[in-house]
Chain A
């Protein structure tokens, strides 16, 4: 199994290191050719405006969108969630628009409002998982086909729609591998 991590800007190496710990081959996706022969792709955290712009400037946009629409297992963390969302409440920009969710950017506030918490998410692991929110978005509305995985104070922060997984938080910034394992199981 080979998983690509979109490597235009943001926290790329953290995802790659986590995948390697699980004995998964992980590559950086920077160009169209890198999309060949991957079994799944992670859109990492970073700045969605930056990554979204580079996606369009580099012609990865359309082939990536087509791959996701044809079923490539895809996981967006934080900025990655924004890139995948059909609607963004507080931004005119739209990106891949492949998941039936409406998200709010920087929804918890500026950096001073970034936070950590520890929750049990039964679907992912029976052990408590550390959740790291950095200027994080959350999901305001979900379509009928979207399965909600986790909420924090009524706010949807993890969800899945068919082959697409999104999290507001950053499992790659913790020592816990459960979410990466969960994503790998989506590919198997």
Chain B
């Protein structure tokens, strides 16, 4: 349990920050310089995974090592849902955080990874409170809304975060005797439902992810109560990644200051091309349960 506490504590130190997807050491350096609080090492950003299709897997350890040695901030990497061997490999690389991610092609349609078997922390995606608490029940040290990665469309991230917030409020205002019934309805562990009832929040840090492409998107998620943001394709698929990365970092800190937001949103060049959710071939958010 001590390890789990330390892992939840690392997530707390990421709060108010931006975690950026990077596909090589050079991008990692740009991200760190722009003020990212961590980087996510992967071979293809979600927008390219979407476009190119095929099975998306854990990155080559060589790439992860290169990124690790290029930066001093925490390095995260993704494994397929349920692929505990990919997770074992990342742990052997001393990765700082594993993202069991719906962006990659799931390896197991029934089970997520039993994250209690690992010393390194996991972050997992969730669309609602029940899903978040199930992942935490499996040992996740951090949650992020799934949103819809690789779309540059923030609508799903907003939906998921609002959903989670509303459900947290519902649990918080419920009577004590209804908690077991809520636990049954949400398909979530009773003790964790109880935690939410008592504290009015998840027992771990909750970031927003999936579709954030502009400083305003980042600030929107922060105003809705996210404790930080993941930006995937939004940075390196834009016209001026360096400038946009800096602006999104600034927007995550000054999310409540429209004047500053208007200054930093100026002249950023083109954002990534966005996709309407109804035109998608596959919804990544529906992967995992």
Contact = CB atoms under 8 A, between A and B. Distances in A.
Interface stretch (A64-72, A105-113, A151-159, A176-184): A105-113
A145 interface: no
B13 A134 contact: yes
A178 B65 CA distance: 40
Given A54-B35, A54-B253, A112-B94, A9 B15 contact: yes
A12 B157 CA distance: 25
Nearest to A44: B13
B73 A47 contact: yes
Contact of A47 (B33, B37, B254): B37
A43 interface: no
Nearest to A173: B9
Interface string A7-19: 1111111100000
A102 interface: no
Interface residues of A, number: 35
Contact of B13 (A45, A54, A57, A105): A45
Contact of B35 (A49, A78, A111): A49
Given A30-B253, A116-B6, A47 B13 contact: yes
Contacts, number: 104
Interface in A90-123: 90-91, 105-106, 109-112, 114-116
A14 B9 CA distance: 11
A12 B37 CA distance: 15
B16 A46 contact: yes
A10 B250 contact: no
A53 interface: yes
A90 B69 CA distance: 12
A160 interface: no
B40 to A, nearest CB: 14
Interface in B1-57: 2, 5-7, 9-10, 12-17, 32-38
Contacts of B13: 10-11, 45-47, 78-79, 134-135
Contacts of A53: 33-35, 249
Given A54-B249, A111-B7, A11 B74 contact: no
Nearest to B36: A50
B171 interface: no
A132 B253 contact: no
Interface string B244-260: 00100110111000000
A150 interface: no
Contacts of A54: 35, 249-250, 253
Contact of B91 (A45, A47, A78, A112): A112
Given A10-B13, A10-B16, A111 B121 contact: yes
B223 interface: no
Q: Which of B9, B10, B32, B94 is packed against the most chain A CB atoms within 10 Å?
A: B9
Contacts of B121: 111
B96 interface: yes
A170 B15 CA distance: 15
Nearest to A48: B72
A105 B32 CA distance: 15
A170 B33 CA distance: 25
B230 interface: no
B32 A49 contact: yes
B6 A134 contact: yes
B2 A116 contact: yes
Contact of B10 (A7, A49, A111, A116): A111
B103 interface: no
Nearest to A116: B2
B168 interface: no
Contacts of B35: 9, 49-50, 53-54, 57
A173 B12 CA distance: 9
Given A106-B72, A112-B94, A132 B9 contact: yes
A116 B1 CA distance: 11
8 contacts: A9-B16, A9-B252, A10-B16, A54-B253, A106-B72, A114-B9, A134-B6, A135-B10
Given A8-B16, A47-B37, 10 more contacts: A7-B16, A9-B16, A13-B15, A46-B13, A112-B91, A114-B6, A116-B2, A132-B9, A173-B9, A173-B12
A-B pairs, 5 with minimum CB distance: A9-B16, A111-B96, A47-B37, A53-B35, A110-B94
